[in-house]
Structure 1
């Protein structure tokens, strides 16, 4: 999916629940930051408290939430270049 335009990515998201898209974006950003919640929150433009609350809710729902420093940024992650 590298090199896709924002409009192309957006079109692929149509029909998905916003909460699902948000969860995937938050977890992908955490992977890119080696689980660093402060950095991930800054990239996403949300507060660390909001990040912590969302991750707590994901964990309560049984979703695997990466621990800080538990995931190397290059371990199978795919970076998207938005044009």
Structure 2
């Protein structure tokens, strides 16, 4: 698939979704990609670690599967 076709396919999946849902999915996917490393995830997302932690706590309280931080790392 060409880049423009791929970009359009991604956009088609996102259009109409609530921003909070897209944000949650992006944060959780980034945490999975970083093996739960909160500092790395926050840096990749361009948000403060405190903001990330607050969102993680909210998602966990709502019952979402939040990747655990690496062993020995501060949560």
| Same fold by TM-score greater than 0.5 | yes
Structure 1: gaps (5+ residues): 71-83
| Larger RCO (alpha carbons 8 Å, 6+ apart) | 1
Q: CA–CA distance in 2 between the matches of 1:10 and 1:39? A: 26
| Larger of the two Rg values belongs to structure | 2
Q: CA–CA distance in 1 between the matches of 2:30 and 2:19? A: 16
Q: Please identify which structure carries the higher helix content.
A: 2
Deviation per residue, 1:18-46 (Å, 9 max, x gap):
11100000000011101000000100000
Q: TM-score scaled to structure 1, two decimals?
A: 0.73
Match of 2:49 in 1: 48
Structure 2: gaps (5+ residues): none
Match of 1:32 in 2: 33
Q: TM-score scaled to structure 2, two decimals?
A: 0.80
After superposing on structure 2, the runs of 4+ consecutive aligned residues of structure 1 that deviate more than 3 Å are none
Q: CA–CA distance in 1 between the matches of 2:20 and 2:51? A: 14
Alignment partner of 1:9 is 2:10: yes
